[in-house]
Amino acid sequence: RKEVEQDPGPFNVPEGATVAFNCTYSNSASQSFFWYRQDCRKEPKLLMSVYSSGNEDGRFTAQLNRASQYISLLIRDSKLSDSATYLCAVNPSGNQGGKLIFGQGTELSVKP
Amino acid sequence: GEEVAQTPKHLVRGEGQKAKLYCAPIKGHSYVFWYQQVLKNEFKFLISFQNENVFDETGMPKERFSAKCLPNSPCSLEIQATKLEDSAVYFCASSQGDAQDTQYFGPGTRLTVL
């Protein structure tokens, strides 16, 4: 079993749709969680850090469920520009300076 | 600087040649990380530094790969005697080492081994 696993893609959705991605992690000691966005093999860009209480940034909402060991990302009112690969990342060590373990990424394609 | 800088953008090497990649972290960040991304989105952690010191090298192949972060110089990742399977994009990231410890990535170096 991989340390971090994501929903298989691709997700093909129309503009305006709501789409949700899940990501499970195996190490219960993990403390830091992130969603990154990657376009066409460019560098991952931070989309959101994921906090215990959940957090929202405009159309994006991230949730953490420690009991079930998963994080989620909800995108509302999706735009063409949201088309990208979404990567969840976990610092399994719980320590500062710890490496990130990435999921395999979920590809999102938003169509007109 | 305010962004992680990586050079070169592209690097082409014949099998058996040496490859050297460079990374300048964001100013004030004390941690530097190297990741390898081969084909479809599989990121592999290679090594990390806390300032000039190796912090975690559990991902580094024992042979052929080495890395350094020296004072007042860009960090470097060197591959001796490259192999075809080393073809990948190599990303460098840096972080402040604060409570949230977010890592910010550079644009990557695409290494092609022929």
Over residues A19-33, the pLDDT tens digits come to: 999 999 999 988 889
Instruction: Look at residue B85 and tell me whether its pLDDT is greater than 70.
Output: yes
Mean pLDDT for the stretch of residues B50-71: 94
Give the rounded percent of residues in chain B with a pLDDT score beyond 90.
Answer: 83
- N- to C-terminal Cα distance for chain B? 34
Instruction: Look at residue B7 and tell me whether its pLDDT is greater than 70.
Output: yes
Burial bucket for residue A26 (CB in 10 Å: 0-12, 13-18, 19+) = middle
The verdict on a CB contact (< 8 Å) between A96 and B98 is: yes
Instruction: List chain A residues with CB under 8 Å of B102.
Output: 34, 46, 49
Give me the pLDDT at residue B1, please.
66
Mean pLDDT for the stretch of residues B71-92: 95
B50: which DSSP letter? E
DSSP chain A: --SEEE----EEEETT--EEEEEEES-TT--EEEEEEE-TTS--EEEEEE-TT-EEETTEEEEEETTTTEEEEEE-S--GGG-EEEEEEEETT-STTPPPEE---EEEEEE-
**Rounded (10°) CA dihedral A91, B71, B105, A7:** -30
Chain B contact for A55 (CB, 8 A cutoff): no
B100: which DSSP letter? S
Give the three-class secondary structure for B39: coil
- Give how far Cα B97 sits from Cα of A21, B33, B50, Å: 28, 12, 9
Which residues 12-51 of A have a C-beta within 8 angstroms of B?
32, 34, 36, 38, 41-46, 49
The verdict on a CB contact (< 8 Å) between B48 and A97 is: yes
CA dihedral (B107, B112, B78, B45) positive or negative: positive
Interface mutation vs chain A, best among B47, B87, B105, most A CBs within 10 Å: B105
Beta strands in chain B (DSSP E): 5-7, 10-13, 19-24, 31-38, 42-50, 53-56, 65-68, 75-79, 88-95, 104-105, 109-113
Please give the mean pLDDT across all residues of chain B.
93
Give the rounded percent of residues in chain B with a pLDDT score beyond 70.
Answer: 96
pLDDT tens, per residue, chain A with 112 residues: 789 999 878 999 999 999 999 999 999 988 889 999 999 879 999 999 998 888 999 999 999 999 999 999 999 999 999 999 999 999 988 778 889 999 999 999 999 9
Q: How far is residue B63 CA from its own chain's centroid?
A: 16
Chain A contact for B95 (CB, 8 A cutoff): yes
Chain A contact for B25 (CB, 8 A cutoff): no
Instruction: Look at residue B89 and tell me whether its pLDDT is greater than 70.
Output: yes
